[in-house]
Amino acid sequence: MTIAVGDKLPSITLTRMTSDGPANVGSDELFAGKKVVVFGLPGAFTPTCSAAHLPGYVVHSDQLFAKGVDSIVCLSVNDAFVMDAWGRQHNADDRVQMIADGNADFTRAVGLELDLSERGMGVRSQRYAMVVDDGVVTLLNVEQPGKFDVSDAETILKALG
């Protein structure tokens, strides 16, 4: 079942790159006591993700922070090394946290997995954006397959008022 507005996010261990290498980070640590914009996507270095999705959040990060967002999380079913390299390529720096869901544990737990096995990509994430306030989903925009209309940074900015 797909997570819905009003639901609490599950407690899942994810991974991020640190100066000492990959390190576990709990979803509770990422979301507890914070207002967070999370956007999930099929994969690092893929066309729409690299051309528009991640860059849009980097460009609009200051505006999102000005709307009371404490952090922005990019989540993908990739490993921490790939997420780190992709984030560096797009100057995510301290603007967007590049979080790896290498085994798709979080993605499956929130019901947003996408089976791209026929294309040689395995299980990935659907394209979405959500606003999470203290671990509870307050906005969830899931894209229709092949679309990029409701999970972009501009749409989330408008939704935040």
- Catalytic hit among 30, 49, 64, 110: 49
Q: Is the dihedral of CA 142, 69, 16, 137 positive or negative?
A: negative
Q: Is 74 a catalytic residue?
A: no
- Which alpha helices (H) appear in the chain, and where do they start and end? 27-31, 47-48, 54-59, 61-66, 80-89, 105-109, 153-159
Q: Where are the beta strands (DSSP E) in 10-160?
A: 13-18, 21-26, 35-41, 71-76, 97-100, 113-115, 123-125, 128-133, 136-142
Rounded Cα–Cα distance for residues 131 and 133 (Å)? 7
Largest CA distance in the chain: 42
Q: Which residues are catalytic?
A: 49
